[in-house]
Amino acid sequence: MSQGVPTVETLYHSTRSKDETVTSKQAILAGIAPDGGLYVSDQLGKVAIDPAHIAAQTYHATARDVLAALLSDYTADEIATCVAGAYGSNFDTPAVTPLTPLGGDWLLELYHGPTCAFKDVALQMLPRLMSVAREGDGRGVMIVTATSGDTGKAALEGFADVPGTGVTVFYPHGKVSDIQQLQMATQRGANVAVAGIRGTFDDAQTQVKRIFADADVNRRLADAGTVLSSANSINVGRLVPQVTYYMDAYAQLVKRGAIALGDAVDYFVPTGNFGDVLAGYYAKQLGLPVGRLIVASNTNKVLTDFIETGTYDRRREFVKTISPSMDILVSSNLERLLYYLTDGDCERVAAWMADLSTKGVYTLPIDVMDRMRETFACGYATDDDTRETIRTTWERERVLIDPHTAVGVCVAERRASEGRQRVCLSTADPYKFSADVLAALGHSTEGMDGFACMDALQELTGMEAPVQLSGLRTAPVLHADVCNQDEMADFVEAACARIF
């Protein structure tokens, strides 16, 4: 498929009902379907991108093909502009997501963007897709996000100075790492607002949901020409850009002579909300020779238990781990996979999701599970396993990995090879989690702040921390607001008044 060739139109509808269809632009602006379902397209599996074509081209060209295939109401010019802007000098390597050797396997480095985590790949693109989608609509779009640490900064970087948009981020004051706090507090851009809140991440999340549902707030904002929106990972505009790096990793393996065209490849994916690994399934549906997708979990192993037993049960204790971006008990994007595994049976999907929300548990029939297991496998790693993997990977390979990546690598090491090349997705720069990585290498971190740990880690490994993180030391703090939970709505309204 190439740019300019008319593609099949991709219309989207909810996973829970086919009654209303929307264009991909509308789906991206709305984020979630009105019935609470996630937007899916029945074109998935009907259009294909030729792997031979992918293997011969750049990351950017593949990104354009993927977007054209899945977001057909964007013009070729719109897509080209979005791709060029999203993956330019804001990534610290022209390869965007380079593939490097890890023993006999491969590491796919997804952390070369402005915030040093894989969420940049999607959040550098989503604001551009939204900006195009709202063209001709004079209203300003205010993104409101609660964050436990990583997503907030990636959203701030993505939306900073994007015309027609603003972004407000709330984080739990005193409950994110000092480096994460500085990443947000030093954010530049005329359209950004950041506040710590007195409370936990869950408090922040609950209040944000309340603000979205507050009719008075929304009416006042509408009168002033503003709508609220979310940059949550269930937005198709976040999912689709992630498909690109599965394809590009394949291309890199072909170019290196590690595989022949047509050989299948296995991918190990550190998983939380099931967005990243679902993008691998989309790549397979678009014709990429994917062998197996291995879902790697931390101690919050709801998905491992689910894939093994067929029962999804969120009724368990939530555990805080050293891979916090995977500390999730309800993996929202799984709903999309259920839709495709049942050949689009909205009624069954809606019933399972209703059970999940009322009872906290549902069980899939054997035939659906069999179908899932044709592609998906699973494994998990405890915090001790994770630290051990960080240490042995450093000692044996001289490769430094972050705790999220280490969960995937640990699962790969324990799993027998099926004779295919294996790619481990590396989702964050190790320096983003300097303290835990330093401790995993056997060093004391007592009394040390994030920068002291970063220094010690640089000394120990001889590898430099990325400037996106080390530069925070001298960056001016621009956002020092801390507010109470009942002041959050006012904070959003004030930000809208200032920005739009």
Ligand X SMILES: *Cc1c(COP(=O)(O)O)cnc(C)c1O
C-alpha–C-alpha distance, residues 125 and 219, integer Å: 29
Nearer to ligand X, 254 or 400 (CB): 400
Nearer to ligand X, 276 or 493 (CB): 276
User: Tokens 């001889």 label which residue?
Assistant: 462
Nearer to ligand X, 387 or 404 (CB): 404
Tell me which residues touch ligand X (CB under 6 A): 117-119, 150, 233, 270-276, 325-326, 404, 427-428
Nearer to ligand X, 402 or 493 (CB): 402
Write out the two tokens for 31.
Answer: 């984020």
Which of the 8 DSSP states describes residue 117?
A: B
The nearest distance, CB 294 to ligand X, in angstroms, is 13
The answer to whether 265 touches 423, Cβ cutoff 8 Å, is: yes
Nearer to ligand X, 118 or 267 (CB): 118
The answer to whether 270 touches 402, Cβ cutoff 8 Å, is: no
The nearest distance, CB 389 to ligand X, in angstroms, is 15
The answer to whether 196 touches 173, Cβ cutoff 8 Å, is: yes
Report the amino acid identity of residue 104: G
Nearer to ligand X, 241 or 270 (CB): 270
Q: How do beta strands 140-146 and 165-172 pair?
A: parallel
Q: How far is it between the farthest Cα atoms of the chain?
A: 61
Spell out the residues 6+ positions from residue 498 whose beta carbon is closer than 8 angstroms to its own.
193
**Catalytic pick from 119, 153, 284, 301?**
119
Nearer to ligand X, 140 or 272 (CB): 272
Q: How many CB atoms lie within 10 A of CB 473?
A: 12
Nearer to ligand X, 13 or 404 (CB): 404
The nearest distance, CB 274 to ligand X, in angstroms, is 5
The nearest distance, CB 418 to ligand X, in angstroms, is 23
The answer to whether 100 touches 107, Cβ cutoff 8 Å, is: yes
Spell out the residues 6+ positions from residue 362 whose beta carbon is closer than 8 angstroms to its own.
311, 312, 352, 353, 355, 356
The nearest distance, CB 405 to ligand X, in angstroms, is 8
* Neighbour-count burial of 483, counting CB atoms closer than 10 A to its CB (0-12 exposed, 13-18 middle, 19+ buried): middle
C-alpha–C-alpha distance, residues 245 and 86, integer Å: 14
The answer to whether 97 touches 242, Cβ cutoff 8 Å, is: no
Which of the 8 DSSP states describes residue 326?
A: G
Alpha helices in 214-326 (DSSP H): 215-223, 236-255, 275-285, 302-309
The nearest distance, CB 35 to ligand X, in angstroms, is 23
Whether 119 is catalytic: yes
- Cα of 52 vs its chain's centroid, Å: 27
The answer to whether 443 touches 456, Cβ cutoff 8 Å, is: yes
The nearest distance, CB 155 to ligand X, in angstroms, is 12
The nearest distance, CB 119 to ligand X, in angstroms, is 5
Spell out the residues 6+ positions from residue 451 whose beta carbon is closer than 8 angstroms to its own.
178, 179, 473
Any idea how long the chain is?
500
- Catalytic positions are 119
